Structure 1
Amino acid sequence: MSGFIYRWFLADRPANSKVSELETSWDIRQSLAKLRNYQPTTKDVCHYGFLCSVLLFVFVAFPAPWLLKLFVYALFGLLFLIPITSQFFFNALPIFTWLALYFTSSYFSAGSRPPITVKVLPAIETILYGDNLSDILATSTNSFYDILAWIPYGLFHFGAPFVVAAILFVFGPPTILQGYAFAFGYMNLFGVITQNIFPAAPPWYKIMYGLNSAHYGMHGSPGGLARIDKLLHINIYTQGFSNSSVIFGAFPSLHSGCATMEALFFSYCFPRLRPLFIAYVCWLWWSTMYLTHHYFVDLMLGSVLSYTIFQYTRYTHLPVVDTDLFCRWSYGAIEKFNIAKNDPLSTEPSDVENVPLTTMNFATPTPPSELSDDDDVVASRSASPYIFDRTTSSATSNTSLDLQGEATPRAVKPRFD
């Protein structure tokens, strides 16, 4: 039975396809050799320079013994250099940077932080929508609504990123997980930076303290999730939100940003299910306001932030999805979106389809009569890139989770008109 499932699962896998393979080597010398030959582009300098500057700030600001911090950074450096772990850890650098900054935020001194705004968000809410939508939705509560709001906000939000990553890895095209980690990490990183620069009180603060001034010595509140703690006889949410690293981080809503990012990637890979993913985002929007954790304007900015980063990632990192293929092992080649080809103002010829990831070979074309069947397939490289691999830098960024087999173009037969 297992043999039948295995054959069915890989039934449409192209012969000798290596684009879906993962790196299995433990030899650090491979990474060091690629590091010596690495020639960063301007985009690479901006990307790694920004992340390294944030990590350096975290290294100095986090109140832990220097030897412990050096050990942690050295451990991650080792994981980045080992090929089998590098393809996951090194490419999750935006995510690790976001987490490091988030957990360091609670240690910032109050004297060096901006004042907390209490009145701006409810005022914007009233100006844009005519009333405070969170107050309206939270006016009438009951156990059924509490459970319905708790499912996306208190459960799915924390587990969905891992579930989405696993599904994208199996059923999406190779390298899709790279783009997901890049976009997800940067969205949360920019969100936490914004929350520290513009600290804003959520709706629960107005319910508890009115429009009185807030200060950094205050504890957070679980809002409507306190009713879940009481209902389930637990103290998880009260304890967690009371001691959150970013208590006054209402703007933007990263709950909304995460849900939107997950919906965008799922819609990209499984477009027929797009209404289901949109419904999930709307469900989470309602739950955040019902539980008094965010204003509607917070949700909108979180979604706009996700959409902006997703669109950049789509045109610079993501492979083209073939909805006729079943899973990652069905792909024999990886294609990327060709911005120049789809630019209506571009002067490039439009009769060349599926521009490959690597540089095209513009040698003298062979007449059609001399082409054999084997000329239609371009073999994939056997080695998988994992760190500082310049052979794919023009189309695939080494900035995310899933650095598996190098993208391989489909052969393009020249046309003779």
Structure 2
Amino acid sequence: IAYLLVRHPERFPRAAVMTYATFNLGASVYWLVPTAPPWWPAAAEAGGLEGGAAVRRMMVEYGEDFWKDGWGSLYSVFGGNPLAAMPSLHFATSLMAALLLAEVGPIPGGLGFAYAATLGFALVYLGEHYVVDLLAGAALTVAVRRWGPAAGGMIDRFGRAVAALEARAHQDG
């Protein structure tokens, strides 16, 4: 998104809104249908799949190796959320960024898609998300791109109606 702000500022407002919508709609799903990431059952000693090994949270293991003594304080700030797995907003927002970058050219788009694919692999490998979480994130991104522009007018009208009600309430009160 920063690339668009610097190199294509005329595209930035739409890109920001599309990314913001993807993130906020996904966060709403977290509140409505909280789901645990793969590492949570293992951490809660619920074990792995029947007959299989428990999921290791590779991010923690690698983080401890890389950051050494600094890992504890760093992780306490950036630790995982046990109720925010589906859809994967890491993947959804990176995919949205890739699609927005692809609109300005094949090289920015290719870099964006390479990043999204690498991130998707890492999210599953590191035990942060199931593949289905990534698929749900991709579906969310596609839905925002498909129906977001049409919903914009409706959301704008709703916002104006709420503002009018608020103004009327202040006049009457």
The answer on 1:170 being equivalent to 2:12 is no
* CA pair 192-181 structure 1, distance change in 2 beyond 3 A: same
Residue 303 in structure 1 maps to residue 150 in structure 2: no
Return structure 1 stretches of 4+ with deviation > 4 angstroms: 313-317
Amino acid at match of 2:58: G
Aligned ranges for residues 320-335 of structure 1 at < 5 Å?
Answer: none
2:23 is aligned to 188
| Aligned pairs for 1:2-401 within 5 A | 164-165=1-2, 167-172=3-8, 174=10, 176-208=11-43, 209-210=45-46, 223-227=57-61, 228-233=63-68, 234-235=70-71, 236-242=73-79, 246-313=81-148
- After superposition, the CA RMSD in angstroms is 3.0
1:230-279 C-alpha deviation (Å, 9 max, x unpaired): 3222225521344x5x4311111110011111101101112344333222
Cα pair distance change 1:186/1:273, threshold 3 Å: closer
The corresponding residue for 1:396 is: none
Question: In the alignment, is the contact (CA less than 8 A) between 2:40 and 2:82 conserved in 1?
Answer: no
Distance 1:273 1:169 in 2: 13
> Structure 1 unaligned runs (5+)?
1-163, 213-221, 318-392, 394-417
Distance in 2 of aligned mates of 1:187 and 1:288: 18
| 2:52 aligned partner | none
TM-score, reference length from structure 2: 0.70
Secondary structure at 1:185 match in 2:
helix
Figure out how many residues of one structure are paired with residues of the other and give that number.
145
Amino acid at match of 2:6: V
Does the CA contact (< 8 Å) of 1:225 and 1:238 recur in 2?
A: no
Which whole-Å CA distance do the structure 1 matches of 2:148 and 2:34 have between them? 28
CA distance in 1, matches of 2:127, 2:74: 14
Closer, same or farther in 2 for the Cα pair 1:238/1:272, shift >3 Å? closer
Identity %: 24
- Contact 2:100–2:109 under 8 Å retained in 1: no
Alpha-carbon shift at residue 198 of structure 1 (Å): 0.9
Structure-2 separation of matches of 1:172 and 1:309: 21
Write the deviation string for residues 319-341 of structure 1: whole angstroms up to 9, x where unpaired.
xxxxxxxxxxxxxxxxxxxxxxx
1:186 and 1:309 in contact (8 A); partners too: yes
Gaps of 5+ in 2: 49-55, 154-173
Shift, 1:207, TM fit = 2.5
Cα separation, 2, equivalents of 1:194 and 1:206 = 20
Matched with 1:56 is: none
- Change in 2 beyond 3 A, CA 1:172/1:316: farther
Instruction: Describe the shift of the 1:237–1:191 C-alpha distance in structure 2 as closer, same or farther (beyond 3 A).
Output: farther
Letter of the aligned partner of 2:60 in structure 1?
A
How much does 1:285 deviate? 0.6
